[in-house]
A and B are shown apart, each in its own frame.
Chain A
Amino acid sequence: MFLEIKNIRKSFGVGDSKVEVLKGIDLGIEQGEFCVLLGPSGSGKSTLLNIIGGIDHADEGEIIIGQEKMSDMNEKKLTLYRRKHLGYIFQMYNLIPNLTVRENIEVGAYLSDKPLDLDEIIKVLGLEEHQDKLPNQLSGGQQQRTSIGRAIIKNPDILLCDEPTGALDYKTSKEILKLIETVNQKYGNTVVMVTHNTAIKDMADVVVRLRDGVIRDITRNEVKVKAEDLEW
């Protein structure tokens, strides 16, 4: 198992206001799999993603990625780990406002010893015409594509996507999903995507439903639906 999540517990607050958001999560994801974490607001899916990404800490439990235990890592090692193995895509694109599209993607490339070809990525993302534009000259979809470029250019082992289509319209959302699908297939990255859009589950290998901090069920799609065929 490439990504092992063992008995993850996490709570916020203290005393009476203590809220347990993850109540013992166990999950395994194989390399190259596309995993969707589904669930309503407050189910703990973003918290789980952040713990997998090493930007939040579990109170209990263990995350093992490719033989490496995250709990053994100090802050410095975690940073190095994220640098080498993880790519992040957020709902808000968080691009650097005074860097062009190309330069924003280079920000990701810088982190890798063997980044993917920048021009190829720009082409795959359909950003050739926009590569010299600043983020404020782009549409939401173009900005999200840029942030995907920034995440995947370093060819991360795991691509973590937190509601990547949450701020986009139907058409643009499908374009973004198609891109993530392409990236997953072309570069073989493991993808973990948090969403509350149930339609997206059909394009995943593994679907994990969370509610109130526990896994309700894990399903595997024998036949995946292509992103362009998704409807919602």
Chain B
Amino acid sequence: MVRSPLRKRVFREIKDDLGKYLTIFILLVAMIGLASGYFVAIGSMIKGYDESFQLYNIENGNFTTRYEIRRVQKKEIEKTGNTIYPIFYKDINIDNNRTMRFMPNRTEVNLACLMDGQLPTQIGEIAIDQTFANNNGYVIGDEIHTEDNTYQIVGMVSLSDYSALFSNNKDSMFDAILFGVGVVTEESFEQEKITPTYRYAWKYPSDPKTEKDEKEMAEDFAKVIRENVVIDDFTPRYLNQAIMFAGDDMGRDSAMIHLFLYIMLLIMAFVFALTTSDTIFREASVIGTLRASGYTKMELVTHYLTAPFLVTIIACVVGNVLGYTWLKNVMINLYYTSYSLPHYPTLFNTQAFLETTLSPIIIMFVISFIVLIRRLSISPLKFLRRDLSKKKQRKSLKLSHRLRFFTRYRLRVILQNIPNYIVLLVGLLLANILLMFGLGMPETINHYQETIREDLLAEKQYILTVPASIEADSHALDNLVTMMAFENAVQTKTEGAEAFSAYSVETYNAVRQEDVLVYGIKKDSQYIKQAIDYGEVYVSTACAKKFKAKVGDVIQVKEHYENKIYDFTITGIYPYDSAVTIFLNQRYMNEVFDLGEEYFSGYFSNTEIKDIDEKYIGSVIDAESLTKVSRQLNISFGGFMEALRIATFVIFFVLMYLLTKIIIEKNAQSISMTKILGYSNKEIQKLYIRATTIVVVVEMLLCMPISTFINQWMFDSYLSERMTGYLPFYLPPWIYFRMMAMGLIAYAIVSIFEIIKIYHIPKTDALKNVE
């Protein structure tokens, strides 16, 4: 079969219009590369993470005992068929106020994955968690210091039971900056003179098959443990955030990446379609001649599809190559700043392949094909006459003669190019939404940190914890002793300390099941500046905003793992933006939750409480702990936001360049004619460039409120639903100026290109192809 000689012009056309094809190509490669890199990275990491359970023999759960388990106790516990392993640790302060959890290297359970260097073999050596090391600038060979000893870092590890660095499972967020883990030799572990935390991991003989089985097995095992030892903490694997959080979190961004990819693909497909339409317009008489000579519509459609198709295919290939190599690592590094994940093999990801090759090709093909079929379905004669409108000529819009001639001319240019400007608007809107997110997110986090610091109920809130052993229903004598010891131990003489009741419940019937802390406050509290009477219910502003609740609304909560539901009718909103909380009168709260008249579970204090044993303090809520979430978000999002800002500038530039180029090319003959008539280049710029400038400025301005609305909506309905707590989206006014500036700088650069183009349009153009 003879191949069409038209194919010979495809590469020449790409070469002749390299600016257009190259910009589209670069944007496609960037989009496809980023998406492919992300999908491959996530796919590989999730697979690596999933396999790590088997590979590194991750525990089925752990518990902490008051004292080291004796051999006889171990024997009793292991009669269940489960095996227990000591995983003792010591939390030690090291340089720069960081805490390092020291542990002897594990050989049986929760094995360490060596990422770099070696495991410690002698006293004074340590292998530390790679994420903590990265976030704090530690490299192999550096030293870390405890109060008494110095350790040389000999390796970087990823501990399978600390993929997210939660120092305490009750924390709302891990902290990979201030908290790290490290493995040392037994001798090194021994030389640190503090008592270890006696934590034991357990493994079932065979893994539970369902979540229900897992829960039941854990509950059964808890009973056995409580019968044999005094425990302070009991955490089955499915509740262990240090193990499960990373796995739950990875891949959550997929929906956003998908959405971004498809919107960008659609925009690029429309840009391609518009540029192809423009080519058809320019080549109308050639097309007319070819059609008159007998070329079929499909032959021409195929021909005009070839260049975009080719560019898309090459972009898919290059994008995927970059995605599987460089960009995969970029994406992985983003995750590695947050999570400490083991080695993973790069896996071919079928879905990623389909979405980053087939999808772009299909989208480009379908949209270009539809546009081409429509464009080329007019008769050859119309092409020859350069009359490409399918509809009958509409009456031109009447413009008032009172308008200046130049104004009317510009309006005509704008009216002529409405489809281009619509695509530009959609593109600018997307870019602005991303840019606003990129600029707003760090500001939101910083603002949140400031709010928290200004908004503290007290400098410190001590939440007391009842030892886990008391919850057992056997060994009553032990428990009684422990309880009495607890009640004595949690009394404080610290000046200004004020007891409160706190009870953790979860939302019921809300969009997202979320923990809510209910405070029982004394009526004359010095920390809560609102006298709360018996029966009154105040919610924090964060709670009100998060659940869109107002005074008079009923907020429903339930106890964890229980079915009892509590309805609270809101009587007031307390200005507290840092946490989702409910404030009740303490007496009322103790009654509602049947906690006992004298019950209290924590202290507000502006000074440190030193006379309560640490083991009775479940957590301390202070500025540092409250800003943990935002600190971690800053680390996780930092690089991503920068990438987003660059990406949006590129999108601004590419879209403005391509669409402005089309407008100038479409009007090349008219521009040429105005030159012949004696208009100066400056006047021509005023007619053509200024028309687009006006549209760009108007569209940018229009994008501001729409982007704000969409970002607010996304933040409220997406991030807020996914995250615990409430993080209000904050946009300082300078962000709008910066967005405008970025858009206009991109446009200014584009304008220079277009001004040069106008200068180079020859006067002879107007004399060509005139019927």
Contacts and interface: CB of A to CB of B under 8 A. Distances in A.
Tell whether A and B belong to one assembly.
yes
Interface of A: 50, 53, 55-56, 76, 79-84, 86-88, 90, 92, 94-99, 103, 106-111, 147, 150-151
B13 A111 contact: no
A150 B292 CA distance: 12
B8 A55 contact: no
A106 B5 contact: yes
Given A79-B297, A82-B294, A88-B293, A94 B288 contact: yes
A96 B304 CA distance: 13
A212 B593 CA distance: 101
Interface stretch (B169-177, B377-385, B401-409): B377-385
26 contacts: A50-B381, A55-B291, A55-B292, A55-B380, A55-B381, A79-B295, A80-B296, A81-B294, A83-B295, A83-B296, A86-B293, A92-B769, A92-B771, A94-B285, A94-B288, A94-B289, A94-B384, A95-B286, A96-B6, A96-B9, A98-B9, A99-B5, A107-B293, A108-B293, A110-B2, A111-B295
Contacts of A84: 294
A55 B294 contact: no
A224 B664 CA distance: 51
Interface string B376-404: 00011100100000000000000000000
A110 B4 contact: yes
B376 to A, nearest CB: 12
Contacts of A86: 292-294
Contacts of A95: 286
A209 to B, nearest CB: 23
B615 interface: no
Contacts, number: 81
B379 A107 contact: no
A108 B293 CA distance: 8
Contacts of B293: 82-83, 86-88, 107-108, 111, 150-151
B290 interface: yes
Interface in B251-306: 283, 285-286, 288-297
Contact of A92 (B283, B285, B291): B285
B12 interface: yes
Contacts of B296: 76, 79-80, 83
B294 A99 contact: no
A69 to B, nearest CB: 18
Given A56-B381, A94-B285, A103 B291 contact: no
A7 to B, nearest CB: 21
- The listed residue with most A CB atoms (<10 A of its CB), out of B13, B288, B296, B297, is B296
Nearest to B2: A110
Given A90-B384, A106-B5, A111-B294, 4 more contacts: A79-B291, A80-B294, A82-B292, A99-B6
A69 B290 CA distance: 23
B9 A99 contact: yes
Interface residues of B, number: 28
Contacts of A99: 5-6, 8-9, 12
Nearest to B769: A92
B454 interface: no
Interface of B: 2, 4-6, 8-9, 12-13, 16, 283, 285-286, 288-297, 379-381, 384, 769, 771
Contact of B384 (A55, A81, A87, A96): A55
A185 B733 CA distance: 81
Contacts of B5: 99, 103, 106-107, 109-110
Contacts of A106: 5
Nearest to A95: B286
Contacts of B771: 92
Nearest to A98: B12
B294 A83 contact: yes
A56 B288 contact: no
Nearest to B294: A83
B166 to A, nearest CB: 63
Q: Which secondary structure characterizes the binding site on chain B?
A: helix
B8 to A, nearest CB: 5
A211 B295 CA distance: 33
Contacts of B283: 96
Contact of A98 (B4, B13, B289, B380): B13
Contacts of A81: 294
Contact of A53 (B285, B292, B295, B769): B292
List 6 tightest A-B contacts by C-beta distance, closest first: A83-B294, A94-B289, A106-B5, A82-B294, A98-B12, A55-B380
A149 B8 CA distance: 18
A103 B771 CA distance: 25
Contacts of A87: 293
Nearest to B381: A55
A90 B380 CA distance: 13
Contacts of A147: 289
A151 B566 CA distance: 88
Nearest to B296: A79
B281 to A, nearest CB: 14
Nearest to B288: A94
A94 to B, nearest CB: 4
Contacts of A107: 5-6, 290, 293
B517 to A, nearest CB: 71
Nearest to B293: A88
Nearest to B16: A98
A56 B13 contact: no
Contact of B294 (A79, A90, A97): A79
A97 to B, nearest CB: 8
A103 B5 CA distance: 7
B277 to A, nearest CB: 18
- The listed residue with most A CB atoms (<10 A of its CB), out of B5, B16, B380, B769, is B5
A84 B285 CA distance: 21
A108 B290 CA distance: 8
B8 A88 contact: no
A105 B457 CA distance: 86
Contacts of A50: 381
Contacts of B769: 92
A210 B771 CA distance: 21
Contacts of A56: 379, 381
A50 B283 CA distance: 20
Contact of A94 (B4, B8, B286): B286
A140 to B, nearest CB: 11
Nearest to B290: A107
A216 B318 CA distance: 67
B289 A103 contact: no
Nearest to A162: B384
B438 to A, nearest CB: 41
A96 B4 CA distance: 13
Contacts of A151: 293
Nearest to A79: B296
A175 to B, nearest CB: 21
A25 B233 CA distance: 103
- The listed residue with most B CB atoms (<10 A of its CB), out of A86, A106, A107, A147, is A107
Nearest to B377: A75
A103 B8 contact: yes
A97 B8 CA distance: 12
A110 B4 CA distance: 6
A87 B291 CA distance: 11
Contacts of A88: 289, 292-293
A132 to B, nearest CB: 12
A87 B289 CA distance: 10
Nearest to B5: A106
Contacts of B379: 55-56
B447 to A, nearest CB: 56
Nearest to B8: A103
A92 to B, nearest CB: 6
B504 to A, nearest CB: 72
Contacts of A55: 288, 291-292, 379-381, 384
A231 to B, nearest CB: 28
B289 to A, nearest CB: 4
A76 B5 CA distance: 21
A83 B285 CA distance: 17
